Every structure is written in structure tokens, then in C-alpha cells.
Amino acid sequence: MKLDLGKDSLTKIILKYGYPSVITMWIFSLYTIVDGTFIGKYLGAKEIAAVNIVMPYVNLSFALGIMIAIGSSTIIAINLGEGNKEKANKIYSLSLELLFIFGSLLGVLGILFPKRIVVLLGANDIILNDAATYLFYLSFFTLFYLLSYGFEVFVRIEGCPSYSMICLCIGAALNIILDYYFILHFNLGIKGAALATGIAQLGTALSLLIYLIFKSKKLKFSPIKLNFINSLTICYKGLSEFVTEIATGIVIMAFNIVIMKIMGEKGVSAFGIVGYISTLVTMTMIGFSQGIQPVISYNYGALNFKRIKKILKIELITVVILGALFYVFINTYVGNIISIFINDDKTIYNITKKAINIYSFTYLLVGINIIISAFFTAIENSFISSILSAIRGFVLINILLYTFPTFFNELGIWLSAPTNEFLTLIISATIFITIGLKSINKKYV
């Protein structure tokens, strides 16, 4: 039985839309973590560094998918809330075409220029060939990175988030199986890790597409001529989420470049492990905010503003609790967690443990920043949402990352991340209180 987003119990709605979305993001994270585990255990630390160098490219793939999927889903949800099904389907059809175009273009770039791209991302001569190999083979499946995320969001709009979760579980299981065979049995090395991840994304995309073709009731695709204004509107409304995700890639790239200069590839390997762990935390917060975002958009279209306030309260309380649980759990079992990714490399172990102890303070704050940014997107204020994402993902972190190491050496690298989240929280909370809540309150007048 499908829920009425404007009337039914918020507890039921959040359980159906929020937590499946979190699990979805965990599954997306699992693709990367599984690769990291197999690569670290059976190939080596150098290969972990190579994969970490390629991560900004992967982030760009997800960022484009998120931008189009979230931007279009916001418009679709509002139009469905208003009862305008025809316009909702036009936006849906256009968004699918945009996903295909962006995915194909990005994939071609990765296939044609893998070495140039990884050098730009910070690879040195030691890891250049491994990084280029991983990027080259992964690029054949870039389109399916975008499509699998977009399809998952649209299935959620259909009111069946559990189905999309099952499809992603199948993809994750396929990734684990293929990693096992390609790396351990066929000895394909880092090429096998890339192929396993890519084929798993292909499987996820196809299984979600089956639902959208044969079972979809609200959303129906029909080929339409590309409309520049509507395309720009979709991208603009998803811009904040694009900035949030692409910022992750830019931060990884900036960290990789600085760490490579100060600590070398062993430091990049350690940061890769920190990234695997932190990705799960960040994706949890993003998943929860994006799962609830269509609910806020629907109620915004239906002019149900008191309900939006209640949803926000639940969201903020939830991410604070989740952040605290992640912080305690990861610091309590940090040694065991690091051992998942490496064998007996004491140097990388010590670097990673020290980094996690400091970096993990970000887990206490990151969820609040993501929720506030997503809120502005949901009420169609993408400008403020994008500004907040840019401050967090571009401006502050790069200033801190290039100044803190000057004063604190290696310690400054890891301190820059929690400091960035703290400063962003001050700015985000101020804008949320003075503009966000005030703009909703005006609707009552």
C-alpha cells in the first residue's frame, strides 16, 4: 500500500523513504569498499593509492547522476503534488535523455585520455600505470553509474523504494563475486577490480530499468526533443547536490596532491582507507536527506508548511544521533576496521589510525550541513543550497588544506576536515535560521 506524502504518518513515511535511501547509499558505498578490501588485501598499498587517485572521476560520475536525478525528481514531485502528471512525465523523459548524454560523454573521455586524467588528479610515476588502467576499464561503464543512480531515484518516486534497494543489493553481491573471481582466480589485478565494479553497475541499472518499463504507473518515458530551458532548470535544481558530490571528489583530489607532496604514496594509501570509511558516513547522511527530499518537495507543492517543519526536526535529530554513533563505533574499533584493508604494513596502519582519530570529528557535524543544504534544494531555492555546498566543498576546505600543513605539518592535513565542517555549520545554521525558516513562516501570512 502506497503512502500519501501529504497526510500519512511521518514515522511511516520516513521509514519507507528515508531509511531505504540510506541503505541504498550504503550499497553504493559498498562497491568502493569491496574494491578497497580486495585491492588492499590481495594487490597491495600501491594499488589502493592508484584507486584513490581515480575516485574524483567516480565522484564526478555520481555528481552528474545526482544533479539530473535530484533536480528532475524535485520538479516531478512538486508537479505530482499539484496534480500535473503531464509535465512530470515530460521532465522525467528529458532527464533520462540527459543522463544518457552526460554518461556517454564522460565515459568517452575516460577511455580516450586515462593517463592525462590521472596525472591531473595527482598520480605520480609510481602509481601512474595502475591508476590509468583502473580508469580506462571503469570508463566503459560510466554511463551505468549515472543511469543506476537516476533509475533508483525514479523508482523511489514511484513509491517502491524497497524494489530499488533489492536491485542495488543484487548489484553489490555481483560486485563481490566478480571481485573474488577476477582478482583471486583470474589474476586480472586492478583491471579486474574495475571490471567487477563496472559490470555490477550495469546489472543494477538493467534491473531498475525493467521496473520502470513494465511496472511504472506514475512515470512513463516518451522520446522528446531536448529543451535547453528545461534542461538548464533540471541541472540548476540539482546543482547543490552536484556541488556536494563533486566537492567530495575535489577534496579527495586536493588531499591526494598535498599528501603526495608531504607524505608520498603511502600517505595517499592511508587517506584512501580513510576515504573508504568516511564514504559510508557521508553517503548515509546524503541518502537520508535525499530520501526525505521528495517528501518535503511534495508538501511544498501542496502548501503544507507545518508538515515540512516537523519533517526537518526529525531529520536533524536523526543525523545528529547517526553522526555520534558513527564517531563512537569507528574510534572504538579503528584497529579492526583498518585491518580489513591492509595486511602487515605498520607504516600505513599507524598513519591511518592517527588520521581517523582526528578526521572522524567530521562525522558529528557533516549530517547537519547536508540536511540544511538539501532543505533549500527541496523548496526550490537552489541558489542558497549551491552556495552552502560550495562553501563547504570548495572554499573553506581548500583554504584550510593549503594553510594548516604549513603550521601543523602532517597533523594539519587531518585537522583541516573537521575544522571545515565546524565553520560550515556556523554559516549554514545562520542562513537556515535567518532565511530558511523565515521564508516558510512567511507562507502563513
User: Which amino acid is residue 230, in one-letter code?
Assistant: N
What pLDDT shows up at residue 444? 44
What pLDDT shows up at residue 445? 38
Residue-level length of the chain: 445
Query: In sequence order, which residues have a C-beta less than 8 Å from that of residue 265 and are 6 or more positions away?
Result: 45, 46, 49, 124, 126, 127
Nearest to 239 by CA among 29, 87, 387, 73: 387
CA distances from 364 to 13, 64, 101, 193, 407 (A): 25, 27, 38, 32, 25
User: Which amino acid is residue 431, in one-letter code?
Assistant: I
What pLDDT shows up at residue 109? 97
What pLDDT shows up at residue 427? 96
Nearest to 178 by CA among 28, 55, 31, 341: 31
- CA dihedral angle for residue 342, residue 139, residue 62, residue 410, rounded to 10 degrees: 40
Low-confidence ranges of the chain (pLDDT < 50): 443-445
3-state helix, strand, coil in the chain (%, to 5): 85, 0, 15
Maximum distance among all alpha carbons in the chain? 68
What pLDDT shows up at residue 168? 81
Report the Cα–Cα distance between both ends of the chain, in Å, rounded: 36
Please give the DSSP secondary-structure letter assigned to residue 186: S
Q: What is the pTM of this model?
A: 0.79
